[in-house]
């Protein structure tokens, strides 16, 4: 890639913008107070404290009661997409309706399972609802 260009292909930020000293200080503080929690496996749903925090956040921000036992922490969006696809789709006769400009990782996951994809145009507000309705009616 040419110098000065910014790639939007992945979520890699410019390392020069990282507050490395702040990260080091925060990591040292956390290791002093939570070393055991951070150096042992958190369980199959993810770190319990983080799940409780996320459930509380939903109540505070959205007014929605969420049981922390229903919160699953993943290693990133790709793991979340893969888990959802493997849970909800068989690959045979499955169709996913998605934005025309979608996350490439999702497209690869759907394609690898033989899932058909239908793209819906987007505008500044997200999916164009009329186009979504047309797509759904054509199924």
Please write the tens of the pLDDT for every residue from 23-62: 999 999 999 998 888 888 888 888 888 999 999 999 999 9
Q: Is the pLDDT of residue 2 over 80?
A: no
**Confidence check: pLDDT of 10 > 80:** no
| Ranges of each domain in the chain | 20-73, 75-139
By DSSP bridging, strand 95-99 and strand 126-127 are unpaired
pTM above 0.85, yes or no: no
Q: What is the DSSP string of 15-62?
A: GGG--HHHHHHHHHHHHHHHHHHHTS---TT--HHHHHHHHHHHHHHH
CA 47, 49, 54, 55 dihedral sign is positive
């Amino acid at each position: 890639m040419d110098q000065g260009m910014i790639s939007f292909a992945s979520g890699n930020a410019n390392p020069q913008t990282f507050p490395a000293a702040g990260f080091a200080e925060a990591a040292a503080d956390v290791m002093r107070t939570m070393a055991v929690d951070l150096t042992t496996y958190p369980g199959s749903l993810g770190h319990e404290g983080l799940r409780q925090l996320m459930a509380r956040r939903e109540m505070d921000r959205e007014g929605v009661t969420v049981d922390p036992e229903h919160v699953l922490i993943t290693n990133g969006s790709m793991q979340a997409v893969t888990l959802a696809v493997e849970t909800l789709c068989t690959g045979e006769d499955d169709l996913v309706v998605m934005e025309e400009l979608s996350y490439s990782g999702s497209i690869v996951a759907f394609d690898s399972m033989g899932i058909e994809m239908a793209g819906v145009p987007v505008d500044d507000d997200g999916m164009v609802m009329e186009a979504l309705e047309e797509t759904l009616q054509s199924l």
